[in-house]
Structure 1
């Protein structure tokens, strides 16, 4: 005759207990429930199947786990959400009703670099502090442009944010993919207050980016007279160099001014540089002086400036051409007039015979 098996029903199965909780997962443990079930059936080695359900946001119970393990991890959850769980067992000798419901809330999602940069763009100092204090995000976190958080704050000239980032360990000299430091970026945008703050907090002033240019060269290229003047007036304190050579063309700030600075600012900037001791005779890699570059770039006012301050109009280049020869080749009327006036002032030659030459005769490297 078959042996009848008595099935014991547990009315009060212990609910699962909570283990590790993250922003996307909840660990649930069943050891207490299994111990009770095995003790009830009288077999400590019994393989008892567990059923775990979780309540959805719509209020419906759905299967979350079925098996023989002592624990499971419910994954794929939403951050900062409350979840409900219940448990039962089903075995040939022991069954149970559903346990009491337990609740567990996932953690808030960790902050990201995007969160930090978004808060910086909004100027939300409280949020920036909250993110930095969380430890989730490095203070030098980059955005999609490879701008560090400190650089992003500096571009807004937000001193309070820059101070906060520095307190949390931000690097004032962190380079982006192009080798540009926050100081170089600030100088290229005429952000004087940011430049001042960075210098006061240890910015390296002569660092070259991957194009071979330092902060002062970028400031000169933009024609930022007030910024360049501040740099040079504080050169002894911070290390700016009025004769620093950039590596792409071998130009000093004055030579680069003659070559790159917009015409509307070139004269004023050149005057500021010369007043502070810039050398008008220094040659770039192409052997051009500031005067020659001003001629080639057709900047009559700047040419007049260099001539008035004694630039040598007869010093030959490696091809034997003098600035006056090159001025004739360029053929700019105002520049030629400036040379003629200077020659007459020097009383070195009679008024020269005008010649016409194509600007194509001059090979510019």
Structure 2
């Protein structure tokens, strides 16, 4: 003979356990009469329901025989309301009163730091750095520090804030580029000048052996190149990969006449040879020939 199962009495609200910015732990105690005895079909079943504050309806977010559930995927600093539903094996059910609980503030992380830099938010950046919870040089998912991003985008005020908070101006990303190289390529002269005043080096090289002047030449920003040379940057510096000077790189890659003229006027050697014996003139001739080939219309085949 099966033991008599009492209908459920009105349960207490679920008890709130650990609360984070994205989760809430709820648990509830079995009453003595609801002890787990016999087959599972004779157990009391529990459901956690969440209130929809706009519709004033309830949605089931958990149902089963456990006495604890963690609600996840929640929004930070948001109020949620839950109730417990207890269903007897015979199908009778009772609901608890509502319990209200708010998630916590989202903890400051490196994502917030990089987000502040990406949107050029000075006030937010200062607050994050003053909080002391995030290291100023922590890289983003692409291996860029906040300074690298600010330098590349030309956010001079953010660059100054980051430097004043101890960022390392000579750190490199995964390809070996530092903040100075990125600023030179992007043409942000104010950032270039500031980084130089705070210890950035012209001699640094990326993994391909290129220096900041090689990258400035690639970027095609004459005002930056002119200032770099005046600041003492070596005009005929050779990369350790292809053996190219900035003039050779311009001749072989972009063919930018203004940059080439600027470098030549600054004393660049027009007769220097790379590891394959090519001079800048030979390289630019090859570049122009290649461009002509691409511009020639393809001959149609008449069948």
Picking from 50, 56, 75, the partner of 1:54 is: 50
| Secondary structure of residue in 1 paired with 2:195 | helix
The answer as to 2:179 corresponding to 1:185 is: no
Superposition deviation, residue 68 in structure 1: 4.1
Q: 1:216 aligns with which of 208, 213, 216?
A: 213
1:251 corresponds to 2:244: yes
Q: State yes or no: 1:205 paired with 2:192.
A: no
Q: How far apart, in 2, do the equivalents of 1:90 and 1:189 lie?
A: 66
Partner of 1:293: 280
Gaps of 5+ in 2: 38-42, 286-303
User: Which one of 264, 272, 279 corresponds to residue 270 of structure 1?
Assistant: 264
Q: Distance in 1 between matches of 2:26 and 2:220?
A: 65
Structure 1 residue 124, shift from structure 2 partner: 1.7
Secondary structure in 2 matching 1:188: helix
TM-aligned CA deviation for residue 27 of structure 1: 0.8
Number of the residue aligned with 1:346: none
Return the offset for 1:199. Answer: 2.4
- Whether contact under 8 Å (1:83, 1:104) holds in the other structure is yes
- Name the counterpart of 1:63: 60
Residue among 135, 149, 170 paired with 1:173: 170
SS at match of 1:83: strand
Match of 2:27 in 1: 29
What secondary structure does 2:205 align onto?
coil
Assess if the C-alpha contact under 8 Å between 1:17 and 1:28 holds in 2.
Answer: yes
Per-residue displacement from partner, 1:100-150 (whole Å, max 9, x unpaired)? Answer: 311122345667877655543432212334556485797544477x65432
RMSD of aligned Cα (Å) = 4.3
- What CA distance in whole angstroms lies between the structure 2 residues aligned with 1:253 and 1:149? 28
- Show structure 1 runs of 5+ residues with no match: 299-365
TM-superposed CA distance for 1:208, in Å, is 2.3
Is 2:81 aligned against 1:84? Answer: yes
Check whether the contact 2:8–2:86 (CA below 8 A) recurs between aligned residues. no
Question: Does structure 1 conserve the Cα–Cα contact (< 8 Å) formed by 2:20 and 2:103?
Answer: yes
State the secondary structure of the residue aligned to 2:69.
strand
Closer, same or farther: CA 53–219 of 1 in aligned 2, 3 Å = closer
TM-aligned CA distance change 1:225 to 1:25, over 3 Å? closer
For residues 18 and 168 of structure 1, do their structure 2 counterparts lie closer, same or farther at Cα, with a shift above 3 Å needed?
farther
Among 224, 240, 246, the alignment partner of 1:227 is 224
Q: How does the TM-score come out when normalised to structure 2?
A: 0.67
Q: Deviations over 1:177-232 (max 9, x none)?
A: 54322211211233221112222333343222344321122334555454334334
> Greater CA radius of gyration, 1 or 2?
1
Distance between the aligned counterparts of 2:27 and 2:3, measured in 1? Answer: 33
Mapped partners of 1:156, 1:63: distance in 2:
47
Query: 1:40-84: CA deviations, max 9, x gaps?
Result: x5x988776544332234211233434443321123444443221
Name the SS of the counterpart of 1:65 in structure 2: strand
C-alpha distance in 1 between matches for 2:144 and 2:154: 15
1:166 is displaced (CA, Å) by 4.2
Alignment CA distance shift 1:9-1:148 (3 Å):
closer
Q: Are the counterparts in 1 of residues 108 and 134 from structure 2 also a CA contact under 8 Å?
A: yes
Partner-residue secondary structure (3-state), 1:179:
coil
- Separation in 2, partners of 1:151, 1:102: 47
Any idea what the Cα deviations from partners look like across 1:267-309, whole Å, max 9, x if unmatched? 343222x3xxx66775433445xxx5347747xxxxxxxxxxx
Residue 209 of structure 2 aligns to a residue in which SS? Answer: coil
Q: Deviations over 1:228-266 (max 9, x none)?
A: 34334444xxxx444421134423446657776632343
Residues 8 and 87 in structure 2, CA contact (< 8 A), matched pair in contact too: no
